[in-house]
Structure 1
Amino acid sequence: MAYVTISIGGRAYRMACDDGQEDHLSGLGEEVDARIDQLRVAFGEIGDQRLSIMAAITIADELSEARRRLAALEQEAAAERAARSAATQRLGETEARLARSVASAAERLERLTRELGTSPSGGVGMG
């Protein structure tokens, strides 16, 4: 278990985190501190607790919007996968029909070749 001291609103907080997560936690602390500073500039000194709540709500709103966009993108990706799967199935069906058509044409050509004989002259004399 690692510990990081982060500064938010001019106050230091000692936080525990998993080993290797120190920089991430410090970065999150810096983001929250910057958000509180932005709100302080916009609204003035309205109290640390109120600024913290406003920052938390603002961040929660952004998270909610990001989740909404992610869900929309996941739905879009699922629709694209379904469309691709349907197209792949149609392609397979088309290839199978084409293969049957080619096989049928080859059989007809072979039958015609047998009926006409194997000689290019077809047994007809040129004379």
Structure 2
Amino acid sequence: MPQVVVTIDGKTFRMACAEGEEDHLASLAAEVDGRVNELRKSFGEIGDQRLVVMAAIMATDELSEQRRRIAGLEAEIAAAFRDRDEALRRVAADERRFVAHMNEVATAIETVAGKIDGRA
């Protein structure tokens, strides 16, 4: 299992990850490090653990918001599929009515044509 050494808030950590995930893990650690540094600039020295906890809570809040947005988008997609299915059912019903009407018109034309041929 590959290991990656990451630095967060000036401290290094050796982390294990799945094969091929090394760059992703390093990128995530860099993002956490950036958040901790931003918080340190905003709040000063309030303790390493507290900064890391605040960064984790901020990241979790963003994740929660994205999950909420995804759920909303999934609901919109499901509604769009239901609307599409209903529209397709209406189109199919309209097509059946149109074909039936055209058959009636064709029958009427044939009847008229037969009467005209009979008189000629």
Q: Do these two structures clear the TM 0.5 threshold for a shared fold by scoring above it?
A: yes
- Whichever residue aligns with residue 88 of structure 1, its letter is L
More helix by percentage = 2
TM-score (norm 2): 0.97
State the aligned residue count. Answer: 120
SS in 2 for 1:19: coil
Structure 1 runs of 4+ with >6 Å offset:
none
1:101 aligns with 101
Tell me if 1:15 matches 2:19. Answer: no
C-alpha separation between the residues in 1 aligned to 2:43 and 2:3? 33
Question: Which residue number in structure 1 is paired with residue 52 of structure 2?
Answer: 52
TM-score (norm 1): 0.92
Unaligned runs of 5+ in 2: none
Secondary structure (helix, strand or coil) at the match of 2:79 reads: helix
Q: Whose radius of gyration is greater, 1 or 2?
A: 1
Structure 2 CA distance, aligned partners of 1:6 and 1:100? 72
Q: RMSD value over aligned CA atoms? A: 1.0
In 1, Cα distance between equivalents of 2:104 and 2:27: 69
Is structure 2 residue 82 aligned with structure 1 residue 82? yes
Measured after TM superposition, the shift of residue 103 of structure 1 is 1.1
